[in-house]
Structure 1
Amino acid sequence: MRVGDTVRRPPHDRSPYVHAVLRHLAAAGFDGAPRFLGTDARGRAILSYVDGTVTADAAALSDLQVAGAGRLVRGFHDATAGTGLAGGEEVVLHGDLGPHNTVFAGERAVALIDWDDGVAPGPRVRDVGHAVWCFADIGASGGPLAVQAHRARVFLDAYGWPDPAEVVDEIAARFRRARADHLAHDRADAAAIFAGYVGWMERHAPTLTTLMAAAPPR
């Protein structure tokens, strides 16, 4: 909920850790995340409001916007690498990166938002794979494979990720993990959706990887 120039978020079990991450990012000079300003009388986190636009439509983003998001994610990861918050893992993960959680000001990606209970230590590839899935709209609804591969490559080049195949493998693994989790919790409809994603990746991952590795983005 927006209140003036702040956003209020209800607490959850991992709130103290998330707030520590946000405090660390501010102290490290990373400007691409809301500032944690304390809690209000109802126990909600008070976060600074980031002005700009957010979209769930990856196809509406320009290459400049996708590249800016890649650099923003790299900056976030680098700011947490080697810290106690990473808990012996590579970095702290956001957990749900994509255009739906990125604020844009014109062509610039200015902030990552929705720091929720998925924030946790982990390997960079987990966040990068999720981000590429969302920014490149990987899957049956994402348009021609060449277009998906191009958007993915724009993000990865901006991040500085050298191995497209590793990211494609992680996206496929992400879909399998989600399918298994939904099945374990008797969420049949959601499991069927991710089963479709898994099948699509099994058919198209080799071609997608080849296209991503073939040439630099335009």
Structure 2
Amino acid sequence: MSGSAGRHEIRRIRLEGGNDGGAIRIGATVRRAARAWTPAVHELLRHLERKGFAGAPRALGYDEQGREVLTFLEGETLGNRLVWPEWTRTEEALRQVARWLRDYHAAVADFTPPPDARWRVGGQWSPGQIIGHNDASPFNAAWHEGRLSGFFDWDFAGPVGAESDLAWTALSWVPLHARRVAELEGFRAFDRRGERLRTFLDAYGWHGDPAVIVREIQARMSARARDIRAGAVGGDPLYAKLLRQGRAEDMDRAVLELEDFAW
């Protein structure tokens, strides 16, 4: 191979992070194993592309190995770091994530999934619901030069109320998880969580009672803990891994701690 050809060879990079098999970057694309819900997710991403929504990858179909092909979102990610980088804890990040979610909900509001759409979570869509990201956490965020590029990993997208998607996103960014979990991730300002939640909700444009959001977080965490346990028993490798990691127990603990959440 000539020197010129070597310089133009497309690099293959295994991306860090993820609980569900990982992904490979090839040039400006990401390749991931296709699943039963992938066609529905691609329909969603194509809708977002038609709406001009920039904060999500584009669906490019499948490669010769049957993997889904997506565009790469440029930016720093958490990868496998146990302590999260400082940008995940700033008020500016809170506001940017909230505005991203507001704009996403506006873009997806008129999306009607195909009747045969299969989602990983959420069951069948019905009018009045949206297809939420359902996992817009720092684990799936790309941060580039002080700005949120968007969110990747849409595997948990599925039918949900917009308020529920808002609550689930607030959970990891405020954060409102169990104190033990937040401390391991590097968060210590527990006395400011009420203020941070209000900042997040104001940036989104939600002006209801914050207690409603906290109650929704509790309900969703209880449901997710049940899903993890049931999925693990049913043989789902991702849920089995999450159960071994203690995720269900951490969610149970967070639900109890939020009973005494101070504003």
> By the TM > 0.5 criterion, same fold?
yes
CA contact (8 A) 1:90 1:122 kept: yes
Q: How does 1:1-218 map to 2 (within 5 A)?
A: 1-55=24-78, 57=84, 60-61=87-88, 62-85=90-113, 87-116=126-155, 118-138=156-176, 139-141=178-180, 142=182, 143-163=188-208, 164-184=210-230, 185=232, 187=243, 189-202=246-259, 204-205=260-261, 207=262, 211=263
Counterpart amino acid of 1:160? G
**Corresponding letter in the other structure for 1:37:** L
Deviation at 1:8, TM superposition (A): 0.6
Moved more, 160-169 or 47-56: 47-56
Higher helix share: 1
Rounded Cα–Cα distance in structure 1 between residues aligned with 2:86 and 2:206:
22
Which amino acid is 2:222 matched to? R
Deviations 1:130-160 (A, max 9, x none): 1111001213144343322232222211111
Query: Quick check: 1:94–1:120 contact (8 Å CA) kept in 2?
Result: yes
Separation (CA, whole Å) in 1 of partners of 2:229 and 2:31: 33
- Please tell me whether the aligned partners of residues 87 and 93 of structure 2 are also in contact (alpha carbons under 8 angstroms): no
Aligned partner of residue 179 in structure 2, secondary structure: coil
| 1:156 partner letter | L
Gaps of 5+ in 2: 1-23, 114-124, 183-187, 234-242
How many Å separate the matches in 2 of 1:87 and 1:3? 37
Letter in 2 for 1:153: R
Letter in 1 for 2:138: P
- Paired position in structure 2 for 1:214: none
Partner residue in 2 for 1:216 = none
Higher mean displacement: 141-150 or 120-129: 141-150
TM-score by length of 1: 0.85
For the Cα contact (< 8 Å) 1:72–1:110, is it kept in 2? no
Unaligned runs of 5+ in 1: 212-218
Q: 153-162 or 34-43: which moved more?
A: 153-162
What is the root-mean-square deviation of aligned Cα atoms in Å?
2.1
The one-letter code sitting in structure 2 at the alignment partner of 1:157 is D
Q: Which amino acid aligns with 2:249?
A: A
Taking every aligned residue pair, what percent have the same amino acid on both sides?
A: 30
TM-score (norm 2): 0.71
CA distance in 2, matches of 1:37, 1:182: 31
CA shift for structure 1 position 58: 7.2
Which structure has the larger Rg over C-alpha atoms? 2
Aligned length: 205
